[in-house]
Structures are given as structure tokens and as C-alpha cells.
Amino acid sequence: MLSYEKATIYLSIYVFFLLSMHLFTYIILSFHIYLSIYLSIYLSIYLSTLVFFFLSIYTCLFLPIYLSIYLSIYLSISVILSFHIYLSIYLSKLVFFCLSIYTCLFLLIYLSIYLSIYLSIYLCYYFFSYLSIYLSIFVFFSLYRIIRNASLSIYLSIYPK
């Protein structure tokens, strides 16, 4: 009888340790899974925020310079070679200058409105409403600077000093 009681005690201790090991293994695995999901979500949010931040810095620094040079060359060549060639022959330089400025301003204002709306919708979809508002305002003002630089370069290409 004594050995039967010892066997049941040893068996209950063994079952208790086995169940506790399985329980601790389950808790550790679920904690690691939860931690990995949390870290992946946090890292994806952090990396996307960094990417948008560096893209906005790149847009602020380099895009206005490139676009103002490109738009001044492209608009002066395309306006002269395309449908404004007859206007440039028959009308004065002032009318031609006003038409070029109007074309450039209309194109860039439309582009800035489209980009600000697109960025705000795209970023609100990914739960970045504060960042989308900031970037849409930032893109609008950077394209405003592009408009200013492009109009100045067009003016200087038509009326050189």
C-alpha cells in the first residue's frame, strides 16, 4: 500500500511538472508571438514615418531646383515649337510671356492640388492623418515655390538682362 501511495504522489508530481512546463512553454511562445507582432507593427509605422520624412526633405531640397530648370527649358521649347508659335510671331513679347506664365501656373496649381489630395487620402488610409495633413500642406507650399522659380526662370529666359 505504501508503494502505491508513493507512486501516485510521484505520478501527480510528474504530471504537475509536465503541465507546468507545457503551460510555461505556451506562455513564452504566445509572449514571443505577441512581442514579434507588436514590434513588426511598431517598426513598420516607424520606418514608413522615416521614409515619408526623408522623402519630404528630398522633395523640399531637390525637386524645386530640378523642376524649375526642367520646366523653364521644357516650357520655353514646347511653347515655342508647339501651338504658341503663331502667337509668338504675331503678338508681342508681353502677351507671349503672359500666356507662358498662365500655362505654367495652371499646370503647377493643378499638380499641387492633385498631389495634396492624393497624399492626404493615401496617408489617411494608413492611419497617418496628422502626417498627411502636414505633407499635403508641405507639398502645396513647395510647389508654390516651384511656381515662383519657374515663372522667374521663364521671365529671365524671355527677357534676358
The domain spans of the chain are 1-55, 62-161
The predicted structure's pLDDT at residue 63? 58
Cβ neighbours of 11 (radius 10 Å)? 10
Tens place of pLDDT for every residue, the chain, 161 residues?
Answer: 557 777 788 888 888 877 877 777 777 777 777 777 777 777 777 766 666 666 666 666 665 666 666 665 665 555 555 555 555 555 555 555 555 566 656 666 666 666 666 665 655 555 555 655 666 667 677 777 777 777 777 777 777 66
Q: Is 99 exposed, middle or buried (0-12, 13-18, 19+ CB in 10 A)?
A: middle
The pLDDT assigned to 121 comes to 60
Nearest to 27 by CA among 15, 39, 16, 35: 35
For the entire predicted model, the pTM comes to: 0.27
